[in-house]
Amino acid sequence: MTGTATISVEIELGWGFHDRVNPYETPELSNDGRKEREALEWLLQLCDEARVPVSFDIVGHLLLESCDGTHDGPHENGWFERDPGTDEERDPLYYFPGVVDVINDAEVEHEICTHTFSHILCDQVSDEVLAWELQRSRELHDENFISLVPPRHRKPTMAALRENDINVVRIANEEQIPSNLVTRYVWNYMRDHPLHTPEMVDGVIQTKTSPFMTLTASHLSRGVSEPHPSFQIVPCQLRQKSHKRFLISAMEAAVSKQSHVHYWTHLYNLAHEAQRRPVQSFLKNLGDSSVMNAKRMSDLTID
């Protein structure tokens, strides 16, 4: 029996926060972007050692070397209000022009996906806006991506994806977080990773995952900041052991059920040292497994 696994990592830096808060004021990001860039180098080296490919979902604006802060898209007024209109040296949370080269220089062949140009919410914008975002991102890429990870799991229309040559999209399942605080606390430690076999919907392959990050754990950290104090009462090693179980048990379940599991996280969640031991153990297990195949999103097929 065999199973398959996909890992997708969202690289968005400040663009993941710009419509909510000033990215330089959120505790989840480092102010100079250095921790996040170091996390990418760490992950790529680990993937080389384990021979595991990753689908990297990149916000297109990061690929700009500089800009004046204005863009000619059909967006609502104010959407680019926090775009500083500078460059990587002055605003490293808004620009990371070398990110694709860093990924492509790895020994393992990873996938470059799009996370839209400016981290738009696909269910709150018109198909015209999404088309502009995808086209603008393609102009900045050296390769023609075919996979999309919609920001915050906001599902676009299938028609818009087909019209813009997107063949694979990652969407969230309907997993619910418990409303009771005590139950939610226990759920963070005891939940199982959902399994879902990719399926063709209206001409586009859909791969489903949890709406809550799974490659990393909220009880270990939230970006460079520490987790909620209620989690810190449990020793870090025990929390790491719990997350390692979560990662590997999903892999084992996918094998036994001949199914698929899709792990995901943000790059900034790997910037904290506490997250790395479970991820390292998991990727080593995935790479060593003879009955588990790691696939990029673009390699998913429908039998």
Q: Could you report the per-residue pLDDT of 171-215, keeping only the tens digit for each? A: 999 888 899 999 999 999 999 999 999 999 999 999 999 999 999
- Specify the 3-state DSSP secondary structure of 150: coil
In the chain, where are the structural domains located? 3-299
Statement: residue 142 has pLDDT above 80: no
Structure tokens at 52: 């595991």
Which residues, other chains included, contact 45 with Cβ-Cβ below 8 Å and sequence gap of 6+? none
Largest pairwise CA distance in the chain: 54
Give the pLDDT of residue 265. Answer: 98
pTM, two decimal places:
0.97
Spatial separation of the C-alpha atoms in residues 77 and 80, rounded to whole Å: 8
Contact by Cβ (8 Å): 219, 188: yes
Spell out where the chain has E strands: 3-11, 55-58, 111-114, 147-148, 168-172, 199-201, 204-209, 260-266, 292-294
- Specify the 3-state DSSP secondary structure of 111: strand
| Percentage with pLDDT > 90 across the chain | 96
- CA distances to 66, 131, 182 from 85, in Å: 7, 23, 45
Closest CA to 24 of 33, 36, 34: 33
Q: How many helices (H) and strands (E) does the chain have?
A: 8, 9
pLDDT, mean of residues 154-166: 96
Name the pLDDT band for 291 (thresholds 50, 70, 90): very high
Q: Which residue has the tokens 């479970």?
A: 278
Closest CA to 295 of 44, 84, 2, 58: 2
Name the pLDDT band for 125 (thresholds 50, 70, 90): very high
Question: What would be the CATH architecture of the domain defined by 3-299?
Answer: Alpha-Beta Barrel (3.20)
- CA distances to 19, 93, 215, 271 from 25, in Å: 13, 11, 25, 17
Q: Which sign, positive or negative, has the C-alpha torsion 271, 274, 277, 278?
A: negative
Name the pLDDT band for 277 (thresholds 50, 70, 90): very high
Closest CA to 159 of 135, 133, 139, 130: 130
Structure tokens at 139: 């102009």
pLDDT tens-digit map of 3-36: 999 999 999 999 999 999 999 999 999 999 999 9
Contact by Cβ (8 Å): 151, 180: no
